[in-house]
Structure 1
Amino acid sequence: MADVTASDASLRRFLHGLPGVDPVGLEARAAALGTRSIKTTAKAYAIDLAISMIDLTTLEGADTPGKVRALCAKALNPDPTDRGTPRTAAICVYPDMVATAAEALAGSEVKVASVATAFPAGRAALPVKLADTADAVAAGADEIDMVIDRGAFLSGRYLSVFEEIKAVKDACRRADGSAARLKVIFETGELSTYDNIRRASWLGMLAGADFIKTSTGKVAVNATPANTLLMLEAVRDFAVATGVQVGVKPAGGIRTTKDALKFLVLVNETVGEEWLTNEWFRFGASSLLNDLLMQRQKLSTGRYSGPDYVTVD
């Protein structure tokens, strides 16, 4: 694989040499897998699994330390009426809120994730992006969610995108030699074609991504079963080719328990049980948590509680 990234020409040959995507076949398979029925005990297990995979997120200009602390409290104890409810995987915030989240989550297994690299547009000079990343890591971020330069990618400047991802990966390293995990966001809704999503997936993994992520949640088209299936196929093929396991994070537009279960089926059927853990699969979907909690309460009590019984984020 080192030869693949030796030059812009070799990287282009490799990425454009990947098998083309059959859109009809991809969407048909994603739709077919979405019809699988999950009942009773399996459903209860899947709901708890989905809760444990959520990156509970607030990425608004009006974010305050108080709001971040409240969200951290929800991540640690999603349902105050049932202490057996799993904690979420992480809290995701802007870099200036990392220290607040890290303090609130200290001593827990809930990770602190931070969007960096001029999220969500990614329109900034590389030194700015690297400083953004380094500041977040220094403040206590366990994970960094970076956005690629879609303009460079769509212009065919693949090596430039590759080198930027590598530079951000290096900026994730701490003074003690450990490193924050890097999630690379493609903004699939702006990449136009499934072929581009496959190329971006391989490009991100070649550059050292620990996770590949569909989207920022800030555009019209975000995670879909089809684009997530395509990315799962990419991480499966990458693992076969290199022996390196990479995670997947669909983000944006996943709002209901029914949606979440469909995505879990995609994971199980495409990459298998090894990816059915929050170490390798995440949901970037904060509103999803409330519906999962309501469905969990219904399974345990037989009654549907309604949205007034869960906190509003």
Structure 2
Amino acid sequence: MEHARNEGMPLATEMFEGHAVNRSAAERRAATIGARRSVKKAYQAAWLVNAVRCIDLTTLAGDDTAARVRRLCAKARNPIAPHVMDGLGLAGMGLTTGAVCVYPTMVVHAVRALEGSGVPVASVATGFPAGLMPLHLRLEEIRYAVGEGAQEIDIVITREHVLTGNWQALYDEIAAMREACGEAHMKAILATGDLQTLGNVYAASMVAMQAGADFIKTSTGKESVNATLPVGLIMLRALRDYGQATGYRIGFKPAGGMKSAKEALIWQMLMKEELGRDWLQPDLFRFGASSMLGDIERQLEHHVTGRYAASSRHATA
């Protein structure tokens, strides 16, 4: 699906300052997702296959190696076992994950392993996960990852700018990162678990989009609290408000702590109810998860065979 890339806009604090966020109402709304409706059988299988298309298959470990990255890329090329795809009637579909996400020094290995697959390589950058490095070094890390072949860059923001309300500094930082990304799409990680209030989450989301973010992302996966439905709801409302004001479609990526196929269903339900079917496509929605894929594959095998396989049969890499 093609849509115009977000060009950003000048900082406009009136779009978020004074914007009231009712935490209790957000939590009540989030609690209804997945509780009021469910999908079963073939419909559930279809939703789970779609979730696979939207996964950023990720390894961000201190002991990452070229071999581990190559195994992850092999899984990204063929995320569901052939006998399960046959049983679903999807043999020949060419199903892949949405992307593979790695550290900058691992990008070159992922690019080589994914050559010809159409699966983009994403790289974290900007001093991930804390982002507490001098700005010029963070920008250089972006340029390095792009130079190695990364097509998507997941940047982290300086949380202090949000916590102190220094919106101009936050805007300038993200705008500089967007410029450093060039043609690579930029996902702005807000580290929402560190931002203290949902009001701050809304404001940070809006500033990131004004500064040119192509996606807004909940978490690094390294915070004590990662993707939660109330936070996701507020980010989606900010995304919708920005789209109504500018005409740009911005993507959304929940990340961290998501492990089950049930969570994949619930997050997709939230996207569909809040934004519509267009946001169930990988150009506007991604999961930052890896272990979730194993449970999705397990549930799909159960749908096909009627039996649950051991988790070890569906290793991520």
Alignment check: 8 A CA contact 2:9 2:211 kept = no
Whether 2:67 is the aligned partner of 1:66: answer yes
Structure 1 residues without counterparts, runs of 5 or longer: 6-10, 174-178
1:259 matched to which residue of 2?
Answer: 263
Distance in 2 between the 1:2 and 1:192 partners? 26
1:49 matched to which residue of 2?
Answer: 50
Q: CA deviation at 1:81?
A: 3.3
Distance in 2 between the 1:253 and 1:284 partners? 9
TM-score, with length taken from structure 1:
0.93
TM-score, with length taken from structure 2:
0.92
1:228 matched to which residue of 2?
Answer: 232
2:194 corresponds to which of 190, 206, 209? 190
1:106 corresponds to which of 95, 112, 115? 115
Whether 2:290 is the aligned partner of 1:289: answer no
Distance in 1 between the 2:77 and 2:53 partners? 11
Letter in 2 for 1:237: D
Measured against aligned partners, the alpha-carbon deviations of 1:64-87 in whole angstroms (never above 9, x if no partner) come to 000000000011012333354721
Pairwise mapping of residues 159-238 of structure 1 onto structure 2 (< 5 A)? 159-173=168-182, 179-238=183-242
Alignment check: 8 A CA contact 1:4 1:14 kept = no
Measured against aligned partners, the alpha-carbon deviations of 1:95-128 in whole angstroms (never above 9, x if no partner) come to 0110110010011121100000000000111110
1:156 matched to which residue of 2?
Answer: 165
Q: CA deviation at 1:206?
A: 0.4
RCO comparison, higher one (Cα < 8 Å, 6+): 2
Letter in 1 for 2:308: Y
Distance in 1 between the 2:15 and 2:311 partners? 49
State the SS of the aligned residue for 1:290: helix
% identical aligned pairs: 45
Relative to structure 1, the CA distance from residue 182 to residue 4 in structure 2 (aligned partners, 3 Å threshold; closer, same or farther) is: closer
Alignment check: 8 A CA contact 2:298 2:314 kept = yes
State the SS of the aligned residue for 1:119: coil
Letter in 1 for 2:129: P
Structure 2 residues without counterparts, runs of 5 or longer: 1-6, 86-90
Alignment check: 8 A CA contact 2:236 2:274 kept = yes
Runs of 4+ in 1 over 6 A off after TM superposition: none
Query: How big is the alpha-carbon RMSD for the aligned residues of Structure 1 and Structure 2?
Result: 1.6
State the SS of the aligned residue for 2:221: coil
Distance in 2 between the 1:41 and 1:251 partners? 27
Distance in 1 between the 2:269 and 2:9 partners? 36
Pairwise mapping of residues 139-150 of structure 1 onto structure 2 (< 5 A)? 139-150=148-159
Distance in 1 between the 2:73 and 2:114 partners? 7
Alignment check: 8 A CA contact 2:75 2:316 kept = no
Letter in 1 for 2:26: L
Count of residues in Structure 1 that have an aligned counterpart in Structure 2: 302
Alignment check: 8 A CA contact 1:51 1:87 kept = yes
Q: CA deviation at 1:151?
A: 1.2
Alignment check: 8 A CA contact 1:113 1:145 kept = yes
1:176 matched to which residue of 2?
Answer: none
